[in-house]
Amino acid sequence: MPSQRTSMDRRRVLATLGTVGATLATGASTSAAAQGGNDRSERGRGNWKDDGDDTESAVLKTGTDRITATFDRQLEQELHHGAQLAIYHDGEFVVDTAGGLSDPEGGETTTETRHVLFSCTKPYAAACVHLLAQRGELDYDDRVVEHWPDYAEEGTRKAKTTIRHVLSHQAGVPAVEIDGQAHLWSDPDAIAEGMEAAEPVYEPGTEPNYHTLSFGWLVGEIVRKVSGRRIDRFARDEIFEPLGMDNTSIGLPEGEEVDVATLVGFEPYDQITSASSGVQSGTNQDTADSFNSDFVQQQAIIPAANGIGTASDMLRFYACLLNGGKLEGTRLFTPETIDEWTSLQAETADDMSRDVSGRFAMGFFLGGVVQSNLGVTAPPTAFGHAGLGSSVGWADPENDIAFAYVTNGIRERTEQDFRVGTMADTVRHELDSRSSHPGRGRAWGRWW
């Protein structure tokens, strides 16, 4: 029963991340971008001030002008300190903009500024598995133990777990002990052992519940077992480089300078609801501190959460999928793989890990629910993923749009839904030619 499992849900993971953040902040060096930003009260209130001119009003603007004006207005309102927005529509890259501040010293956020992507990393990790399936090296309905024998003992319910269950958050291990053992996150062998010791809290395949970090632990080890490569290296060689995602990686590559935008966890008085309540307990400065640390950015391998990248790179990923697996002459996936990847696997009205409804594909959430980071108007065929209170990427085949929106501020869910929902729905409205036809909105069941 869900009431017996509350200690294993995302609340525990986020609370753990907060503790980990406090530990890493005092026991590990922080990124160069984070140093000097120690006035938490000022950061929490959104008081990194940009002395630039006020942005022109968004009133009466249309098309991409209105989209970029809405983006600029959100920066004016200090809904985040720095952000990037990239849009692809009708076969063209139509928006690639950035603004605001990347660090407390006043560094400018540009389209090249790299950010921590949190759970926007999950689709990149899933892409590695889908590529292996496309090549015939595994099947979605293979049991995990066929590729990773030590994952479970034969005859147990854990041994029934399939690749499909893992990708659709139905593996039954939504939170595990290693989630809180940050010192082991750089050791794939230790992570694998931690997952081997984990016991499902429900029968795999019977219900979906968001696997906040364990999704990545499982996917990462499956990729390592099947390909012989760590997932960060596999993703670099097989996903990022072919798609021209030159500023994206899972963790920073060894030897690279730490030049990642500083994350800011907005404090309770800057939030609509209390940061100490339920699932939002992790959206605070302690979580930001943990992911600002050199250890998490440079040494850890967290396939569910420590992707580093830009909105323009993320957009290339979603544009490829929107185009049936091909981008600028490079075919990475077949249309059949994408159909499988984005098909509904499970849905729930009460995800015990997130406290919201959800429609799960294999590495994506699907649109069609009221509370969605893909936008209120996202159709059921839209697919994508958000990162903890900060960023989101999606593709909407029905409207022929791909969207990537990356920020450096961790916001409470209500505020995050507002800012990403406003941006997503503005994009759909302004790029949908149907909306300009008199009376067409009503014909299509829309309210504008």
Q: How far is CA 228 from the centre of its chain?
A: 25
Cα–Cα distances in angstroms (integers) from residue 36 to residues 84, 158, 209, in the given order = 23, 47, 39
pLDDT, tens digit (0-9, with 9 covering 90-100), for 247-289:
999 999 888 888 999 998 866 544 444 444 433 444 467 788 8
Q: Which of 171, 170, 230, 233 is nearest to 196 (CA)?
A: 171
Q: What is the pLDDT of residue 411?
A: 75
Task: Supply the DSSP symbol for 263.
Answer: P
Task: Supply the DSSP symbol for 252.
Answer: P
Burial tier of 141 (Cβ tally within 10 Å: 0-12, 13-18, 19+): exposed
Would you say the pTM of this structure is higher than 0.85? no
Cα–Cα distances in angstroms (integers) from residue 264 to residues 180, 288, 354, in the given order = 21, 6, 21
Compare 405 and 40 and report the one with higher pLDDT. Answer: 405
Characterize 1-20 residue by residue with b for buried, 16 or more Cβ atoms within 10 angstroms of its Cβ, and e for exposed: eeeebeebbbbbbbbbbbbb
CA distance 256 to 36: 21
Q: What is the pLDDT of residue 354?
A: 56
pLDDT, tens digit (0-9, with 9 covering 90-100), for 16-52:
445 455 444 434 433 433 333 333 334 343 454 444 4
The pLDDT of 64-69, averaged and rounded, is 94
Question: Contact at 8 Å (CB) between 427 and 311?
Answer: no
Q: What is the pLDDT of residue 355?
A: 55
Percent of the chain beyond pLDDT 90? 61
Confidence class of residue 208 from pLDDT cuts 50, 70 and 90? Answer: very high
The pLDDT of 50-79, averaged and rounded, is 75
Domains (range + CATH), the chain: 2-434 (3.40.710.10)
pLDDT, tens digit (0-9, with 9 covering 90-100), for 136-162:
999 999 999 999 999 999 999 999 999
Q: What is the pLDDT of residue 267?
A: 60
